[in-house]
C-alpha cells in the first residue's frame, strides 16, 4: 500500500436570515459557488432556530423583517454566543442603524444592494485566517516598501470602534464606525448609505477653509482633520471608516477618538511604509504678508506654530516635538474655536449648525463666553491639531521641521500637494 497524506479542509458555515426570497436565493447561490456551506431562514424566529441547530460560523442578517426585526435577532444571538460573527444588511439603513447594530455586537453593516466584493471582504474579516481573502478597493493602495533608509511598520486598530455625535457644520446627529483593515489598504472612508469609498488622500480633497473634506464620484465626507490627526500620531495606516456626510465633532477635540484607540488597541502589521523625509527646505509662496508656512530637513516631526489675532487670542506660540504622549497630553484635548460673529456668518452659509456649548470654544466681546479653557494657549494648540490631520493626507508620516504663522487648512493642503509633487507620491 502506498503512503499518502491527507488534509482536512474546514468549510465555513453561513446562515442567511432575510425575508426577501430573491436575496436568500441569490446570496446562497453566490456563497455556495465561493465554497461556503449555506443555511437559509426567511424570518427572525426561524433564523434563531437554525442558529441554535447549526451553530454557523457567520450570520448574514437583514434589519427590516416582520414580527421580529434584525436588531432583536442580533441581540438574541449575541446572548446565546457573545462571540458570534454577524453581518447586518439593510435596504433602508443609515448611519444610526449601522451604529446601533455595531454597538449591539454586529461585526459589520452593509447596505443593499450588496456587492459580492464587499460582502466577501467582510466575510474575510470575520474569518480568523483571512489572508487569502481579497481586499476589494483596488483604486488606491499605500506604497509598501521592502528597503529604505527609514521605515515604519504599518498599523491598524485592534478591533472595531464606534463613535457618535453631531456634525460641526451640518448639525446633523451622526456617527462613525472604524474597522481594522489589511496591510496596504490605506485610510478609506465609506459613505453610508451610498457605499461609495473615498481614500483619505490629498488627491480627493474637495474643500478647505473651515474644515477639510473629501469627495468621491458622488459623495462627500466633511470635517476629517481631527480623526486624521489621531491616525497620524498613532501611526494608523490601514483602516475603514463608515460615516455619513460628516465626521462627528464630539467635544471639539481629538481626545475622545484617542481614548477609543487606547481602549481598542493598535495592531502592528508585517508590511512597512516609508515616511516623507524632507530633503530640502520648502517655503509656501504667494501667501498674505502676515502668513508663513515652510518645512525643512529635521530628524523628526517638529512644528513651531504662531498665531496672532484679535482679543482674547492675541499672540500665541507652541512648539510641538512630534511624540504621541505629548500629543495626547498637550494637543489632542484642544478644541475647535471661533468668534460668535463668525458662527453667525457660517450659519447664513449653511455651516456651523453643529456648534454647541459643549463642543466649541465661543469667543465674543474679547472673552470666552461658554467654557473654561483647557490651556491658556488652547487656540494655537488646536491649529497644530488641524495641521497634523491635514499633513496625514499622504497616508504616511512626515519627517521635517514645520514653521507656521497664521495659516489654516488651505495653506496646509497646498503644502501637502507640494510634498506629493516633489517626492512623487
Assign 75 to helix, strand or coil: helix
Name the residue among 20, 14, 177 with its Cα closest to residue 91: 20
CATH 3.30.230.20 given to domain 150-273: yes
Tens digit of pLDDT per residue, the chain (425 long)?
A: 444 444 444 568 999 999 999 889 999 999 998 889 999 999 999 999 999 999 999 999 999 888 899 999 999 999 999 999 999 998 776 788 888 888 889 999 998 888 888 888 889 888 854 444 334 444 566 665 544 568 899 999 999 999 987 756 455 677 899 999 999 999 999 998 888 999 999 999 987 666 889 999 999 999 999 999 999 999 999 999 999 888 988 999 999 999 999 999 999 999 999 999 999 999 999 999 999 999 999 999 999 999 999 999 999 999 999 999 999 999 999 999 988 776 655 444 444 444 445 678 989 888 998 899 999 999 999 999 999 999 999 999 999 999 999 999 999 999 999 999 999 88
**Contact criterion met (CB below 8 Å) for 20 and 62:** yes
- Structural contact between residues 204 and 222, judged by C-beta atoms closer than 8 angstroms: no
Do β-strands 58-62 and 13-17 pair in parallel, antiparallel, or remain unpaired?
Answer: parallel
In degrees, to the nearest 5, what angle opens at C-alpha 366 toward C-alphas 165 and 337? 20
The C-alpha atoms of residue 253 and residue 244 are separated, in whole angstroms, by: 19
Q: Which secondary-structure segment (H or E) carries 21? A: helix 21-33
Beta bridge partners of 410: none
Q: What is the tally of helices (H) and strands (E) in the chain?
A: 11, 26
Q: What Rg value do the Cα atoms of the chain yield, rounded?
A: 24
pLDDT on residue 33: 87
Is the bond preceding residue 337 a cis peptide, omega within 30 degrees? no
Q: Coil, strand or helix: which one is 276?
A: strand
Where on the phi/psi map is residue 366: left (φ > 0), alpha (ψ -120 to 50), or beta?
left
- β-partners of residue 273 are 144, 152
pLDDT of residue 6: 41
Q: Which residue in this structure is represented by grid cell 474655536? A: 337
Cβ contact 316:398 at 8 Å: no
pLDDT value for 377: 97
- What strands lie across the sheet with 220-221, from one edge to the other? 205-207, 213-215, 220-221
Question: At the fourth CATH level, which superfamily is domain 13-126?
Answer: Response regulator (3.40.50.2300)
**DSSP bridge pairs for 320:** 303
Which pairing describes strands 13-17 and 220-221: parallel, antiparallel, or unpaired? unpaired
Catalytic residues: 409
Q: How far apart are CA 44 and CA 52, in angstroms?
A: 13
Domain 276-423: which topology?
lpxc deacetylase, domain 1 (3.30.1700)
Q: What pLDDT shows up at residue 342?
A: 66
Asked if the bond preceding 392 is cis, omega within 30° of 0, the reply is no
Spans of all domains in the chain: 13-126, 150-273, 276-423
What residues contact 60, with CB distance under 8 A and at least 6 apart? 14, 15, 16, 17, 18, 27, 87, 89, 119
Listed in sequence order, the residues at least 6 apart from 121 whose beta carbon sits closer than 8 Å to its beta carbon are 133, 134, 135, 136
Main-chain dihedrals φ then ψ at residue 329, nearest 5 degrees:
-85, -35
The answer to whether the bond into 312 is cis (omega within 30° of 0) is: yes
CA–CA distance, 87 with 115 (Å, rounded to integer): 14
Distance CA(162)–CA(62), nearest Å, equals: 20
Do 276-423 and 13-126 have the same topology in CATH? no
Plot region of 167 (φ>0 → left; ψ -120 to 50 → alpha; else → beta):
beta
Grid cell for residue 409:
487648512
Determine the distance from the C-alpha atom of residue 62 to the mean position of all C-alpha atoms in its chain, rounded to a whole number.
25
Amino acid at each position: 500500500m502506498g503512503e499518502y497524506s491527507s488534509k482536512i479542509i474546514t468549510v465555513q458555515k453561513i446562515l442567511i436570515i432575510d425575508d426577501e426570497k430573491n436575496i436568500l436565493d441569490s446570496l446562497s447561490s453566490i456563497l455556495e459557488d465561493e465554497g461556503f456551506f449555506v443555511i437559509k431562514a426567511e424570518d427572525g424566529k426561524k433564523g434563531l432556530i437554525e442558529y441554535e441547530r447549526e451553530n454557523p460560523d457567520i450570520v448574514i442578517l437583514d434589519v427590516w423583517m416582520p414580527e421580529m426585526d434584525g436588531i432583536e435577532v442580533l441581540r438574541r444571538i449575541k446572548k446565546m454566543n457573545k462571540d458570534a460573527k454577524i453581518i447586518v444588511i439593510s435596504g433602508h439603513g443609515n448611519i444610526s442603524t449601522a451604529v446601533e447594530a455595531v454597538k449591539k455586537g454586529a461585526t459589520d453593516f452593509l447596505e443593499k444592494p450588496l456587492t459580492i466584493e464587499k460582502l466577501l471582504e467582510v466575510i474575510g474579516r470575520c474569518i480568523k485566517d483571512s489572508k487569502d481573502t481579497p481586499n476589494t478597493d483596488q483604486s488606491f493602495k499605500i506604497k509598501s516598501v521592502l528597503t529604505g533608509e527609514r521605515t515604519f511598520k504599518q498599523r491598524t486598530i485592534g478591533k472595531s470602534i464606534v463613535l457618535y455625535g453631531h456634525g460641526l457644520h451640518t448639525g446633523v446627529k451622526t456617527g462613525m464606525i472604524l474597522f481594522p483593515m489589511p496591510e496596504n489598504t490605506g485610510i478609506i472612508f465609506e459613505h453610508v448609505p451610498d457605499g461609495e469609498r473615498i481614500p483619505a488622500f490629498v488627491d480627493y480633497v474637495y474643500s478647505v477653509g473651515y474644515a477639510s473634506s473629501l469627495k468621491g464620484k458622488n459623495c462627500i465626507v466633511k470635517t476629517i482633520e481631527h480623526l486624521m490627526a489621531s491616525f497620524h500620531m498613532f501611526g494608523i495606516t490601514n483602516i475603514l471608516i463608515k460615516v455619513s456626510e460628516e465626521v462627528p465633532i464630539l467635544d471639539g477635540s481629538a481626545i475622545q477618538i484617542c481614548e477609543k484607540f487606547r481602549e481598542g488597541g493598535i495592531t502592528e502589521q508585517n508590511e512597512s511604509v516609508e515616511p516623507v523625509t524632507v530633503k530640502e527646505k520648502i517655503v509656501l509662496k504667494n501667501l498674505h504678508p502676515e502668513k508663513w508656512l515652510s518645512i525643512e530637513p529635521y530628524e523628526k516631526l517638529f512644528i513651531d506654530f504662531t498665531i496672532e489675532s484679535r482679543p482674547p487670542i492675541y499672540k500665541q506660540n507652541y512648539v510641538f516635538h512630534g511624540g504621541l504622549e505629548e500629543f495626547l497630553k498637550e494637543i489632542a484635548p484642544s478644541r475647535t474655536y471661533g468668534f460668535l460673529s463668525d458662527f453667525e456668518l457660517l450659519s447664513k452659509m449653511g455651516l456651523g449648525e453643529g456648534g454647541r456649548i459643549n463642543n466649541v470654544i465661543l469667543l465674543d466681546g474679547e472673552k470666552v463666553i461658554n467654557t473654561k479653557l483647557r490651556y491658556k494657549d488652547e487656540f494655537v494648540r488646536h491649529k497644530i491639531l488641524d495641521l497634523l490631520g491635514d499633513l496625514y493626507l499622504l497616508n504616511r508620516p512626515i519627517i521635517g521641521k514645520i514653521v507656521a504663522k497664521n495659516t489654516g487648512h488651505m495653506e496646509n493642503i497646498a503644502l501637502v500637494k507640494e510634498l506629493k509633487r516633489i517626492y512623487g507620491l
